[in-house]
Structure 1
Amino acid sequence: MSTEQLTRAADRYPTRLDTRLDPIDRVEPTVWGPPAGGPLTESDLQSMERNGYLVRPDAVDSPWLPTLQSELERIAARADSDDPRIIREPGGSVRSVFQPHLFSDVISEVVTLDTVLPVARQLLGSDVYLHQARINLMPGFTGSGFYWHSDFETWHAEDGMPEMRAVSCSIALTENYPYNGSLMVMPGSHRVFYPCVGATPRNNHTSSLVKQEIGVPDRATLTAAAERFGIDQVTGPAGTALWFDCNIMHGSGSNITPYPRSNIFLVFNSVENQLEAPFSADEPRPEYLGARTHQAFSTAALVG
């Protein structure tokens, strides 16, 4: 048996297929750590296990917010158009900036706050590292949305993440209203993996970060998922942290209001869930999208 056949035999979540495959029940738990393992209560953990997401108000205190907002403006203003970590909207405005913790001491400090890092360690039940970090900017009138998708589908297919043992933390730096492109999630959908149809193009990330077309379920699948799980919209003031499981179905609409929406987006992966060869791509995505060179970091300091 070839190496490729062995890899496919071990792949519990096949995707990017030639033909449609039925949804696959999740194998791994959502919450890996005990109630005594961090700041989350047993009720918090039960909610995360049931819904696949958890809203934590005041993850960043009010005195921090002006500094962070100014830092995002500074980064966006100085963004180098030739830097692949800078993702722009078709009109030219900055959409996302990856690895901001490597060139911003302010953002790197946010990662290690008591309201952030210990939560990630508790949810994943282990030491953790940053699989990916970015800032997202959705300016008024021009900010485009993110189509429905599961992050794990991409991380599995293109980064080689073997298990559903990662969690995202989105920290709002502006008010999230129901009408300015705030995130929508399908609560409970994290318990089901939806295989997608369509092979991964070479260097797919160069276009998918602006508009994702590969690795998204078809409309019939999304309709069935929405009818089964419903849709929640996450709103709240600046400083609120939204924690959501790597496999939950989520997306956001475009922002046609005058009110901008921005956030710091952190993806924590367990050190026991090391990346392998991509399951459905010829080569892994760049380091700034899926970190392979890393060390676990403690609550004292960030290690890139």
Structure 2
Amino acid sequence: MTLMDTRIGDAYPTRLPAADAGAIDRLDPTVWGGEADGPIDAATLASHDAKGYSVVEGLLSPAEVQTYWQELVRLSGDEELKADERVVTEKSSGEVRSIFEVHRISDLIAELVRDPRVLDRARQILGSEVYVHQSRVNYMPGFRGNGFYWHSDFETWHAEDGMPVPRAVSCSIALTDNYPFNGGLMVMPGSQRTFVQCAGRTPEDNYKSSLKEQKIGVPSEDEIAKLAAEHGIEQFTGAAGSALWFDSNIMHGSGNNITPYPRSNIFLVFNSVDNAVVEPFAAEKRRPEFIAARDFTPVRR
């Protein structure tokens, strides 16, 4: 199958010539389920539908936070694991930045994926059974943690992984306190209803550099400015144990962390089993399965 073949029937074309890239309306819902489908009440579901994100305070207890934090310390200090392709290091310092497919590396995090507090919310938002499209732990050290430029996850997952539509949701569980000043995630509420097309062709093996610093698949400054003017910018702050649920297409990013306070989280991406990935829509070949799973088995408790 050629790159052009994959764009037949593509509702969200991207990685276009600069003159053709712009913004188009989203065609699919943000919330697919209803109040009866899970633990989220109607008002919170409506807010999530409007803003593209919602926060669950205290999803994990302080004791659980400590347990998962110790697991992150263990994983980041595993010298054998550092040689694994699933481990991404900081471009400048060489420190561990992310560990992918972590639910297959850590039994503790595998249990968390199946935890009803997590799984039932994912099912409710997506209105179906779900599978793990991607999992990782993220480390942002104090003083030298690098942020990520504005982007939509779905743009990359569509272009490079073949995710048909934005029927996926991410859960970011904080294992450290998130302050306004230590590189916390910023989102543009409501921006998930606009799909921003990006310019440029996808380089071969783009993931090897984009996981450290994304240059392809980022919107133009004009499009970012338009979205910010329309929607504003909000930031995820809160105590360790809080969870941010956010839509796959919401525009988000984070700044560098120059404070002494590190920021680490567990990041789980759930995709509907009815939205299983196909061939990439704007890349010549698939990314590795540790970044974009091809096992669509529904997660069970």
TMscore range, shorter length? over 0.9
In 1: Cα distance, 2:22 partner to 2:269 partner: 28
Out of 153, 161, 178, the position equivalent to 2:155 is: 153
Question: Match for residue 254 of structure 2?
Answer: 252
Question: Match for residue 224 of structure 1?
Answer: 226
Deviation at 1:5, TM superposition (A): 5.3
Question: How has the CA–CA distance of structure 1 residues 229 and 175 changed in structure 2, closer, same or farther, with 3 Å as cutoff?
Answer: same
Q: Deviations over 1:242-291 (max 9, x none)?
A: 00000000000010000000000000000000111100000010000000
What are the equivalent positions in structure 2 for 1:192-231 lying under 5 Å apart?
192-231=194-233
TM-score by length of 2: 0.97
Partner of 1:9: helix, strand, or coil? coil
In 2: Cα distance, 1:30 partner to 1:81 partner: 37
Question: Match for residue 17 of structure 2?
Answer: 18
Question: Match for residue 63 of structure 1?
Answer: 63
Partner of 1:148: helix, strand, or coil? strand
C-alpha RMSD over aligned residues: 1.2
Deviation at 1:81, TM superposition (A): 3.3
Question: Match for residue 280 of structure 2?
Answer: 278
Which stretches in structure 1 are left out of the alignment for 5+ residues? none
Deviation at 1:221, TM superposition (A): 1.2
Partner of 2:274: helix, strand, or coil? coil
In 1: Cα distance, 2:115 partner to 2:2 partner: 42
Q: Note if 1:237 corresponds to 2:236.
A: no
Deviation at 1:227, TM superposition (A): 0.6
Question: How has the CA–CA distance of structure 1 residues 175 and 282 changed in structure 2, closer, same or farther, with 3 Å as cutoff?
Answer: same
Q: Note if 1:39 corresponds to 2:65.
A: no
In 2: Cα distance, 1:135 partner to 1:7 partner: 31
Work out the number of aligned pairs and report it.
298
In 2: Cα distance, 1:46 partner to 1:295 partner: 29
In 2: Cα distance, 1:144 partner to 1:4 partner: 33
Question: Match for residue 123 of structure 1?
Answer: 125
Question: Match for residue 9 of structure 1?
Answer: 8
In 1: Cα distance, 2:238 partner to 2:3 partner: 46
Stretch deviating more after TM superposition (108-117 or 43-52): 108-117
Q: Give the AA of the match of 1:22.
A: G
Deviation at 1:99, TM superposition (A): 1.1
Partner of 1:116: helix, strand, or coil? helix
Question: Match for residue 72 of structure 2?
Answer: 72
In 2: Cα distance, 1:114 partner to 1:7 partner: 36
Deviation at 1:9, TM superposition (A): 2.9
In 2: Cα distance, 1:237 partner to 1:272 partner: 34
Deviation at 1:8, TM superposition (A): 2.0
In 2: Cα distance, 1:260 partner to 1:127 partner: 35
Which stretches in structure 2 are left out of the alignment for 5+ residues? none
What are the equivalent positions in structure 2 for 1:174-185 lying under 5 Å apart?
174-185=176-187
Q: Deviations over 1:62-115 (max 9, x none)?
A: 221111110000000005332110000021100000011112111111112221
